[in-house]
A = this chain, B = another copy of it.
Amino acid sequence: MRITLIGSGNVATHLAAAFKNAGHTIAQVWSHTYQHAALLAYHVKATAAEHLGDLDSSADIFVIAVKDDAIPGVAGQLNAGNQLVVHTSGSTAMDVLAGVSTRTGVIYPLQTISKLREIDFRQVPVAVEGSTPDVARELHLLASGISGNVLELSSEKRLSLHVAAVFACNFTNHLYQLSKTILDKYGLDFDLIRPLIAETAEKVSTVDPASVQTGPAVRNDRLTMDKHLHFLEKEPELQDLYRRLSQNIINFHNKQQG
């Protein structure tokens, strides 16, 4: 397929490389910043376009990988004809593209994508949605070329997946950082915590997280929790998070037993 990419961020960059590796042609790249488009285009042997209106409507598919709030504006400027137009957002309903083309859809790769980090796209779950069964089939096929784990999801289910990912990934990464902040303050190395982080993630690769929950909250060990809250006295934001997360653990496990 001839694919035109709209966007030059993390998702656009990784998708372009994955499509290219799967044997597709990246026709054109557009970005809000022309230099970024030119750089990505150079890497995938495409041409960069300066204006959205300049994009060649002969591309088989337009893949919009820009910030969520920029999707409607960008989509509205495309001369897509009857070509396939998709976005790549977890939290944006497919119908934001209604009217842009007769054939629209979504390709949402569920991964924490950093531009400079290699990822094995075959392992990345990709959720697709199509405005018609034919479009869904076509997107399923396209996505299967880059990922071994493609599934069709409605906009609502895709949103639930994105929210779940924020909890499991974005929030956990921030907790890693809070942990590092505490260690820094006491002159301790983050390396001390790294084996624990690896083991915590590894444990849930085969079992439910609730079944391997450890720590003072799940034991309802008030003595230890009080020591920790006292320790965090001078960090009210951390103390507040500690209190709320612990209470949430207690409530969750009480409900399970009840």
Contacts and interface: CB of A to CB of B under 8 A. Distances in A.
Interface of A: 10, 67-69, 91, 110-114, 117, 119, 123-125, 149, 151, 153, 156-157, 159-180, 182-183, 185-188, 190, 192-205, 208-210, 212-219, 221, 223-224, 227-228, 231-232, 237, 240-242, 244-245, 248-249, 251-252
24 contacts: A91-B216, A111-B199, A112-B196, A112-B200, A112-B215, A119-B199, A159-B231, A160-B188, A163-B228, A166-B228, A167-B175, A168-B196, A168-B200, A169-B196, A172-B200, A173-B204, A173-B209, A173-B212, A173-B213, A174-B249, A174-B252, A194-B205, A198-B202, A240-B244
Given A114-B214, A167-B179, 17 more contacts: A68-B223, A110-B195, A112-B199, A112-B212, A161-B183, A164-B192, A168-B175, A169-B196, A169-B215, A170-B213, A170-B217, A173-B200, A173-B213, A176-B209, A177-B209, A237-B248, A241-B248
A162 B219 CA distance: 15
Central interface residue in A119, A124, A176, by most chain B CB within 10 Å: A176
Contact of A168 (B193, B232, B245): B193
Contacts of A219: 67
A157 B204 contact: no
Chain A residues touching B, majority SS: helix
B180 A209 contact: yes
Nearest to A185: B160
Contacts of A251: 237
A167 B192 contact: no
A244 B106 CA distance: 30
Contacts of A202: 198, 201
